[in-house]
């Protein structure tokens, strides 16, 4: 092969295939490269039949990062692999199991690992309240170290942004009170569907130089506080959207559903707020896709009815 090229995978395994990044990734690959064999993995038995109905030509498997035999079955013979773990995952155990499975088969030529890290963050800046938890700054840094040491052909997609569809978590306040209830911080933004397209584009790329890279992704346009978002909602939707960033409102709104996790999430947001100067919009997604990524304004226009009614 010519220098700096890699084979394009003939088969791709997608973890989290029923979720907001994995599913659009499966749709992208099915559309853009229908000859690729797709194996779609979900940890939920209830979602297997739904996935199979949506992707009748794909193989659908149940796999769990805590169950190494299921990972061995899922990874068998796969050349491309997309790895995303649920929030709150013990990455020490999960990474150990998936790395072991991938090495056992030795068939992967390109692995994409999704992480969410502040680039080059000093772990000493992580507050004590998060250090012994399953929080992103701790767990995803651990996963990256383990994959780095594995020698596997990994590209990291680092989500240097908040997901636009997180607004659905905030729907009750928006719908019933016309109020955005969420802690304040400055953060870039990204539509998960654009992340999926980036992942698919990299898997289909013959450029070997992506292997080993750490690509931080955001939409390159929006660096906004939630107060700014509430004002944008007011403008786009034509209705006044109030904003409440208080700790009391956050705990009252989300505590009943999240239980003890709400405390860790609030501490994580405070950690992000204290380190928000690390974030800057970049053009990686635009360059990779050859188009402008979706903006927060466009996303809000698209989902007005779903959030307000």
230, part of any domain: no
64, part of any domain: yes
pTM assigned to the model: 0.95
Containing H/E element for 207? none
104, part of any domain: yes
pLDDT value at position 3? 85
Cβ contact 51:42 at 8 Å: yes
177, part of any domain: no
Total number of domains in the chain: 1
305, part of any domain: no
52, part of any domain: yes
The 10s digit of each residue's pLDDT in 101-127 is: 999 999 999 999 999 998 888 888 888
138, part of any domain: yes
The 10s digit of each residue's pLDDT in 181-210 is: 999 999 999 999 999 999 999 999 999 999
d(CA 212, CA 151): 9
16, part of any domain: yes
Which CATH number fits the domain that encloses residue 19? Answer: 3.40.50.720
When the pLDDT of each residue in the chain is averaged and rounded to a whole number, the result is: 96
Q: Which domain holds residue 59?
A: 11-163+192-219+280-293
């Amino acid at each position: 092969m010519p220098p700096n090229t890699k084979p394009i995978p003939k088969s791709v395994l997608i973890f989290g295939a029923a979720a907001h990044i994995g599913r659009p990734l499966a749709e992208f690959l099915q559309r853009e490269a229908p000859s690729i064999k797709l194996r779609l993995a979900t940890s939920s038995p209830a979602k297997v039949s739904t996935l199979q109905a949506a992707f009748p030509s794909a193989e659908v498997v149940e796999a769990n990062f805590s169950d190494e035999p299921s990972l061995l079955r899922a990874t068998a013979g796969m050349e491309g692999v997309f790895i995303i773990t649920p929030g709150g995952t013990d990455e020490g155990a999960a990474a150990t199991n998936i790395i072991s499975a991938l090495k056992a088969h030795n068939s992967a030529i390109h692995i994409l690992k999704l992480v969410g890290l502040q680039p080059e963050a000093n772990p000493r800046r992580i507050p004590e309240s998060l250090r012994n938890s399953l929080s992103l700054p701790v767990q995803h840094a651990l996963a990256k170290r383990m994959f780095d040491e594995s020698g596997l052909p990994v590209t990291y997609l680092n989500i240097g942004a908040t997901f636009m569809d997180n607004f659905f978590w905030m729907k009750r306040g928006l719908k019933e009170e016309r109020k955005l209830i969420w802690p304040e911080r400055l953060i870039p933004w990204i539509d998960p569907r654009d992340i999926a397209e980036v992942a698919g584009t990299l898997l289909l790329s013959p450029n070997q130089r992506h292997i080993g890279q750490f690509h931080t992704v955001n939409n390159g346009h929006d660096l906004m506080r939630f107060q700014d978002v509430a004002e944008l909602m007011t403008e786009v939707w034509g209705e006044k959207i109030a904003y409440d960033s208080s700790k009391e409102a956050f705990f009252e709104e989300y505590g009943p559903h999240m239980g003890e996790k709400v405390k860790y999430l609030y501490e994580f947001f405070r950690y992000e707020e204290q380190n928000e100067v690390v974030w800057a919009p970049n053009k990686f997604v635009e360059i990779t896709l050859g188009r402008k990524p979706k903006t927060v304004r466009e996303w809000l226009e698209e989902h007005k009815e779903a959030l307000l009614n």
